[in-house]
A and B are shown apart, each in its own frame.
Chain A
Amino acid sequence: MGIVDVANLKKSYGEIVAVDDISFSIEKGEIFGFLGPNGAGKTSTINMMIGLSRPTSGQIIIDGIDAIKNIKKVQRIIGIVPDENNLYDEMNGFDNLCFCASLYGISIKEREKRAMELLEQFNLTKAGKRPFKTYSKGMKRKLTIAAGIIHNPKILFLDEPTTGIDIESARQIRELILDLKKQGKTIFITTHYIEEAERICDRIAFIVNGKIVKIGTVTELMESVEREHKIRLQLDRSIKDIKEELENNIENCRVEIPEENSCLVISKERIALSPILQLLDSKGISVYEAKEIKPSLEDVFVKVTGIEASKLKKEKEKVGK
């Protein structure tokens, strides 16, 4: 049993099924990611886990507590960072943090101390006295994350933590998330950034149309799909004229020519370089570079979900705007 156990969770809005019978478990101290396009069911799942939405059916157990029956007990040990920066515009950063801490019954002395510490940790000390509405997007995001951890929760839910912010702020937030993991927090994160999931998550679940289609560590996910070995060769001229000859001479390989002076040798088995090099040499073609092309998580995602990575990127751009 993990610190979070979700079993056969389902959420329907009339005839629309937002989350369709999903099950997963999160281990204590790990960063678990939900990766999927907009409308895949990521936020619907998070909302059911934090008590903002009622499941149609299924079970959610968080730290041994039934989250559907005792959500208020669960809310005491979880921290939530929603996909929108929903702090109070008119209040300054420090007061916003103190107010969020007060909702968890933290005494005035303790919440002021904690707010100061977090402002410092998030590089927002100077901005602490400014109204929240004057913050940049990145600063707003950081303060919203600080508000989510002000009560020192065991488990943190982060819904799209880096969506719509600049590269530097996103990098800082990813570092903060990794720091929180080092402090022993369990983190559930939803994202549609493949690189982000790959970089910070211990385990990832691909979610599409309300269903988890694949779940595992990055390595496990990579190994789960049929892998092709690819070697890119950088040459001194085009090999269009000898492509067929090359394919006939190397066993179980096919050759693609993506650019004029390069070629891709693709095989289901490991590729031995020497016969290729010998053949090319005999034809008077020099090889400047040979590089193995490893599959990325993006390739795995596309293969497993059938969703083109470009679709996710377009969504990313839309949200960013």
Chain B
Amino acid sequence: MQTLIAFWNILRKDIENYYLKPPNISWGIIFPLSWTLMQLIRSQGDIGIEELLSGLMAMSVLFGTTSMLAVTITFERRSRSFDRLLIAPISISTLVIAKILGAILFGILNAFVPVIFAAFFINLSGINWGITLAAVILIAITSALLGLLIAVSAKEVFEAQTFSNFFRFPMLFLCGLFIPIDKLPVILKPISFCLPLTYGTDILNGAITGNSIFNAIFNISVMLVFTTLLFYLCLRNIKTKWIL
């Protein structure tokens, strides 16, 4: 019960102090909307909204989770308010889950902005919503953990932002969102299959358009392996880098 009280209050504080602030709400809406419009204008009608949807959702989650988490944690580390959480009688695992959950929820909400937008133009009844939601959640979790991993390495807020972009943009181009994986140069293909976003996007592609490289169960399993690996990597890094 005591752990639950601490967990809930860390989550609530983050949501109220960071995620529900007007600039973040507007970022969460404007960012996915502008990407959707940009893609539609650029394709000049060659690509339908349905084909764009999985990419836009994946991108919204990726940017929604990583940008906020890495920055807020680095900010809290800098002001040393994060030390309060480290010296609280809660386990590091509880702390990590509480910190990333806010970002995960924010990322999930971001993912559905393009869906709401698309609902005005196309019929979305053919989408497998159960698999879509599972994919969004898994992308949000892996992205949040990547954000945390960045935060552990960054000392300053600008460093966190730079590191975020350093892995986000290559990941966007290698995960099959813009360029199909089979059209990537041979040397880049193995890298593509090492990225969690590749499998997340593939689940979304399968659930929304019916076209995917792997089946959903395989993709979900790989995403779960990534989640476990990243979680333990975050724990290990926090213990070695923050508790010196």
One of A80-88, A115-123, A193-201, A273-281 at the interface: A80-88
Extra contacts, 7 of them, besides A51-B243, A84-B80, A91-B17 (Cβ < 8 A), are: A76-B89, A86-B83, A87-B84, A99-B13, A102-B6, A102-B9, A105-B3
Output the nearest chain A residue to B6 by Cβ-Cβ distance.
A103
Contact mask for chain B residues 75-118; partner A; CB cutoff 8 A; 1 contact, 0 none? 00001110111111111000000000000000000000000000
B244 at the binding interface (Cβ < 8 Å): yes
The answer for the CA separation of A75 and B2 in the assembled complex, in Å, is 13
Q: Are B88 and A104 in contact (CB under 8 A)?
A: yes
Contact of A99 (CB < 8 Å), options: B3, B9, B86? B9
User: A91-B17, A104-B6, A106-B5 given as contacts; is B87 within 8 A of A50 (CB)?
Assistant: yes
Output the nearest chain B residue to A100 by Cβ-Cβ distance.
B84
Q: Are A103 and B79 in contact (CB under 8 A)?
A: no
B187 at the binding interface (Cβ < 8 Å): no
Q: Which residues of A contact B (CB under 8 A)?
A: 13, 50-54, 72-73, 75-76, 80, 82, 84, 86-91, 99-100, 102-107, 147
Contact mask for chain B residues 1-41; partner A; CB cutoff 8 A; 1 contact, 0 none? 11111101110010001000000000000000000000000
The answer for the CA separation of A87 and B83 in the assembled complex, in Å, is 10
Contact of B90 (CB < 8 Å), options: A88, A89, A103? A103
Give how many A-B residue pairs fall within 8 Å (CB-CB): 69
Q: Are A86 and B84 in contact (CB under 8 A)?
A: yes
Q: Are B5 and A107 in contact (CB under 8 A)?
A: yes
For B91, list chain A residues within 8 Å (CB).
72
Q: Are B90 and A52 in contact (CB under 8 A)?
A: no
The answer for the CA separation of A87 and B87 in the assembled complex, in Å, is 13
B28 to chain A, nearest CB (A): 19
Q: Are B87 and A80 in contact (CB under 8 A)?
A: yes
For A50, list chain B residues within 8 Å (CB).
87
Q: Are A54 and B83 in contact (CB under 8 A)?
A: no
For B79, list chain A residues within 8 Å (CB).
86, 89
The answer for the CA separation of A166 and B19 in the assembled complex, in Å, is 37
Q: Are B6 and A105 in contact (CB under 8 A)?
A: yes
For B90, list chain A residues within 8 Å (CB).
72, 103
For A103, list chain B residues within 8 Å (CB).
6, 9-10, 84-85, 88-90
The answer for the CA separation of A96 and B9 in the assembled complex, in Å, is 11
Q: What 5 pairs between A and B have smallest CB-CB spacing? A: A105-B2, A102-B9, A103-B88, A86-B80, A75-B89
Contact of B87 (CB < 8 Å), options: A13, A51, A88, A89? A51
Q: Tell me what chain B mostly uses at the interface: helix, strand, loop, or mixed.
A: helix
Output the nearest chain B residue to A87 by Cβ-Cβ distance.
B81
For B3, list chain A residues within 8 Å (CB).
105
For B17, list chain A residues within 8 Å (CB).
88, 90-91
Q: Are B13 and A105 in contact (CB under 8 A)?
A: no
A91 to chain B, nearest CB (A): 7
The answer for the CA separation of A245 and B243 in the assembled complex, in Å, is 66
B73 to chain A, nearest CB (A): 14
Q: Are A52 and B83 in contact (CB under 8 A)?
A: yes
Q: Are B243 and A53 in contact (CB under 8 A)?
A: yes
Q: Are B5 and A52 in contact (CB under 8 A)?
A: no
A125 to chain B, nearest CB (A): 23
Output the nearest chain B residue to A105 by Cβ-Cβ distance.
B2
User: A82-B83, A104-B2 given as contacts; is B89 within 8 A of A52 (CB)?
Assistant: no
- Please, could you name 27 A-B residue pairs with CB atoms under 8 Å apart, sorted by A? A50-B87, A51-B86, A52-B83, A52-B243, A53-B244, A54-B244, A72-B90, A72-B91, A75-B87, A75-B88, A75-B89, A80-B87, A84-B80, A86-B84, A88-B17, A88-B81, A91-B17, A99-B9, A100-B84, A102-B5, A102-B6, A103-B89, A104-B2, A105-B2, A105-B3, A105-B4, A105-B5
User: A51-B87, A99-B13, A103-B88 given as contacts; is B5 within 8 A of A82 (CB)?
Assistant: no
The answer for the CA separation of A106 and B80 in the assembled complex, in Å, is 23
For B80, list chain A residues within 8 Å (CB).
82, 84, 86
User: A87-B81, A88-B81 given as contacts; is B86 within 8 A of A52 (CB)?
Assistant: yes
Query: Which residues of B in the span 116-157 have a Cβ within 8 Å of any Cβ on A?
Result: none
For B84, list chain A residues within 8 Å (CB).
86-87, 100, 103, 147
A288 to chain B, nearest CB (A): 55
Contact of B13 (CB < 8 Å), options: A54, A75, A88, A147? A88
The answer for the CA separation of A87 and B10 in the assembled complex, in Å, is 13
The answer for the CA separation of A88 and B80 in the assembled complex, in Å, is 10
